[in-house]
A and B are shown apart, each in its own frame.
Chain A
């Protein structure tokens, strides 16, 4: 266990020490929030209103998109933090780790926790913007959502680790991951509802772990009990798989399973590695 802790601690230490990265990590999500929250809310709300019987009174786009932007931040930070594995190989440090008696699973898990913690911290920084955006989430909801954010970040970091384990250069990693990240964001319901998609896209939406992540975050943060059914419908907060609506517990289990399987695959690559 100490190995996991050591690897986790190192990644965190380096995150806080890297000023440029710290600054970038603050500004990027804020930028997205400004663009999507400020710029798009008007048009999105008009569009949604035309679909709703009562003229879409209860639909607040910023409230809808905020958990989405948080998930998007988690996704990007998690995956890009996993790139530290490639950097460690380039700078030789991976050898120091691999010749030590730490179990290979602990290396992968430590790396996953490191990237996930950094991502969760960034997600939480966004919470500071809630009052500025004129939003009001319940404090208990925000506290409840943090452990879930960490779980989601773990799953996404594991995905990043898996890619980092077989891609040799940081450039190659960035390119590949960008191709992966974009559809994962757009086809997750983070920025707009993913109702009424063509079948093939719907399939991608349903296997995309971010979809469930976004859905759980929205269900926890948005006050769904007091919202109109039509608004919830329009928000797409009723994902059905095989004709059955999925529950929060199922979604959490799916994400946890996804994280476990991927981190085990990443472990295999550390096992046969001879850096």
Chain B
């Protein structure tokens, strides 16, 4: 695969803090690249450097063949950014916002009409084209921002927490649009989010913590690294159960959290059948689940993402 973003030894230090510590990674053409980590992990600093908004202390960033510190304008023309907060001019209409963007990005005059229509169609806002943005709902504004980010046909679209502040329904809808974009346009997407379940749509994810990238792979591979499925078990006599597990099932990794026994097993199917045949103690609850990215985060950092964010 050809890479569209390549980051080498990227470092950013402030007076006495190293916010980003010599990180390396590549983003491949056409993939959805999830960039995860708690607040203060150095995510925003990294993205700002990639987007030419912040000067790196050292290291190289190459996007679409251009150097992010030397050829800023070429890099800026190659990327589209959907910021966490609203950056539309609400006093203007959707059409005016889009036209201004065409001008900022030197979209040729004769193509503007076609492209505006095209991007509005992708996000289902054709009918709202001449309405003022201040009359839009939160979800519509987000969609309009995505449309605007696509106007200049960027090679990479950065989505910084695109669903923050949206209700679950709108959120699900927005992901549909984003997936549609990936399929139809083949745009590379660089995505940051707090919601680890949303990051599951990524082809690959990088997990950043305390200025370093601690894991980078596809979500499935990362979860497989954790070794199989998670089982949560409550029984009437946990001590006896633990003893029996030790005797009869060898390959399980066991931890106890209060009155819950957590088991990590290679395959839950095989485990359950052995378990049912051999155990005598009555079970009060049994919960089987596939590991989530949250478990991955927990395994790599020793903390849950929510706890890490509080630090």
Chain A interface residues toward B at CB < 8 A: 2-3, 5-6, 9-10, 13-14, 17-18, 91-93, 95-103, 274-275
The reply to whether A10 and B105 form a contact with Cβ atoms under 8 Å apart is no
Task: Give Cα A51–Cα B83 distance, bound, in whole angstroms.
Answer: 66
The reply to whether A100 and B76 form a contact with Cβ atoms under 8 Å apart is yes
Whether A2 contacts B106 in the complex (CB less than 8 A), given A99-B81, A103-B73, comes out as yes
| Interface-centre pick from B51, B52, B76, B87 (highest chain A CB count, 10 A) | B87
Task: Give Cα A14–Cα B133 distance, bound, in whole angstroms.
Answer: 13
The reply to whether B54 and A274 form a contact with Cβ atoms under 8 Å apart is yes
Give the interface size class of chain B.
20 to 34
Residue of B73, B83, B91, B100 touching A18 (CB-CB under 8 A)? B91
Please name 28 pairs of A and B residues whose Cβ atoms are closer than 8 Å in the assembled complex, sorted by A. A2-B103, A3-B103, A3-B104, A6-B104, A9-B100, A10-B100, A13-B92, A13-B96, A14-B89, A18-B91, A92-B83, A92-B86, A93-B87, A93-B88, A96-B88, A96-B101, A96-B148, A99-B53, A99-B76, A99-B79, A99-B81, A100-B101, A101-B72, A101-B76, A101-B105, A101-B106, A102-B104, A274-B54
Task: Give Cα A101–Cα B105 distance, bound, in whole angstroms.
Answer: 6
Nearest-neighbour CB distance to chain A for B272, whole angstroms, equals 52
Residues of the A chain whose Cβ atoms lie less than 8 Å from the Cβ of B51? 99
Q: Report, nearest first, the 4 A-B pairs whose CB atoms are least far apart.
A: A6-B103, A100-B104, A92-B87, A101-B76
* Residue B185 CB within 8 A of the other chain: no
Chain B interface residues toward A at CB < 8 A: 48, 51-54, 72-74, 76-77, 79, 81, 83, 85-92, 96, 100-101, 103-106, 148
The reply to whether B53 and A10 form a contact with Cβ atoms under 8 Å apart is no
Task: Give Cα A216–Cα B33 distance, bound, in whole angstroms.
Answer: 61
The reply to whether B92 and A274 form a contact with Cβ atoms under 8 Å apart is no
Residue of B85, B96, B104, B148 touching A101 (CB-CB under 8 A)? B104
Residue of B72, B73, B89, B103 touching A93 (CB-CB under 8 A)? B89
Task: Give Cα A91–Cα B53 distance, bound, in whole angstroms.
Answer: 18
The reply to whether A101 and B91 form a contact with Cβ atoms under 8 Å apart is no
Residues of the B chain whose Cβ atoms lie less than 8 Å from the Cβ of A99? 51-53, 76, 79, 81
Task: Give Cα A14–Cα B104 distance, bound, in whole angstroms.
Answer: 17
- Minimal Cβ-Cβ distance residue in B for A95: B87
Task: Give Cα A91–Cα B85 distance, bound, in whole angstroms.
Answer: 9
- Minimal Cβ-Cβ distance residue in A for B102: A6
Residues of the B chain whose Cβ atoms lie less than 8 Å from the Cβ of A274? 48, 53-54
